[in-house]
Amino acid sequence: MIGLGAILSVIGTVLLIVFVSSLLLYPVIKKCQNTAEGCKYYSTAPEPIRSFIKPISLVVILLVIAAGVGGIRFGKWHGYKKERNRGLSLS
């Protein structure tokens, strides 16, 4: 479980780095037609990358990182609990 959590965390971190890099390379432009209508935001990235630069992508990336960290913590907790129970049964 610890290994799977570590892999998920690394994948999420790499995706986060790619996400932030693409935001820095291709800035988002704010276009306002009317003040009453609100503003729209457009990315200057090419089309394949533009589909990746969305708020839902950031949410998914953060959830992958959180799942990885949770897997690591659960694996360590389970290993500690197993060792503790093994020590109690030998006494």
Question: What pLDDT, on a 0 to 100 scale, did the predictor assign at position 30?
Answer: 87
- Note whether 49 and 24 are within 8 A (CB): no
Residues 6+ apart with CB under 8 A from 18: 52
Quick check: 88 pLDDT over 90?
no
pLDDT score for 90: 55
> How big is the chain, counted in residues?
91
What DSSP character marks residue 52? T
The pLDDT of residue 35 is above 80: no
Global pTM?
A: 0.78
* pLDDT for the residue 67: 95
More confident residue, 87 or 70: 70
